[in-house]
Amino acid sequence: MRRLMLVALFSAAALLPVPVLAGYSFASIDGGMIDLDDYRGKPVLVVNTASLCGFAPQFNDLQALQDDYGAEGLVVLAVPSDDFSQELNDAAEIKEFCAANFDLTLPMTDITHVVGPDAHPFYAMLRAEHGFEPGWNFNKVLLDGQGELVATWGSLTVPTASVITREIEALLP
C-alpha cells in the first residue's frame, strides 16, 4: 500500500506545471549570465528586441516600465535578436546604441535566437508548450513571480499600453 501511495504521489507531482523560469538562463550583454530563477517572486517582462527595428522607440517604454515598477519588483528583460535581420553586429554595439539613444539601464541579454531551430531553450519552450513564437521584434512575454506565463503581446502593443500595465500591476504587491 505504501508503495502504491508513493507511486501515486510522484505521478501527481509529474503532472504539475513546470514554472517557465525553471532552469533558463541567458548570456548577459555585460558578461556573465542572467538566470531567470534569480527573479523568482517577481514578475518578469521578457521582450525580444532589435536596435534597427522600426519598433525600437519601444525601448523608451521598456525603460519607463522598469523605472515605474522596478522598485515594486518588476523586471524588464530585453533580449536582442537578429532573427529578423534588424540587429547590430555585436553586443558592444547594441549596448552603446541603446545607452546613447534610449539611456537603457534594464537588464539585457547577449544576441539571442528567438525563433527557428536555433531558438534559445526559453523561446523553444514557449513555442512547444504555449504555442507562442515571436512573429517579429518587440514581442512581449509576461511571467508571474512563480514563473508561469501570464500573457503575450505582439509588436504593435506598446509596453506602456494599459492592457500590459494592468497585468503587471495585478502581479505587484
Each residue of 41-89: pLDDT tens digit? 999 999 999 999 999 999 999 999 999 999 999 999 999 999 999 999 9
CB 76 within 8 A of CB 45: yes
Reported CATH class of domain 18-171: alpha beta
8-50 per-position pLDDT tens digit: 444 444 444 445 566 899 999 999 999 999 999 999 999 999 9
State the Cα–Cα distance between residues 86 and 102, nearest whole angstrom.
17
Residue 38 DSSP class: G
> What mean pLDDT do residues 150-161 have?
98
Dihedral sign (CA 56, 99, 161, 111): positive
Average pLDDT over residues 138-161: 97
Active site residues: 53
The CB-side HSE value for 7 (13 A sphere, CA atoms) comes to 4
Cell of 152: 503575450
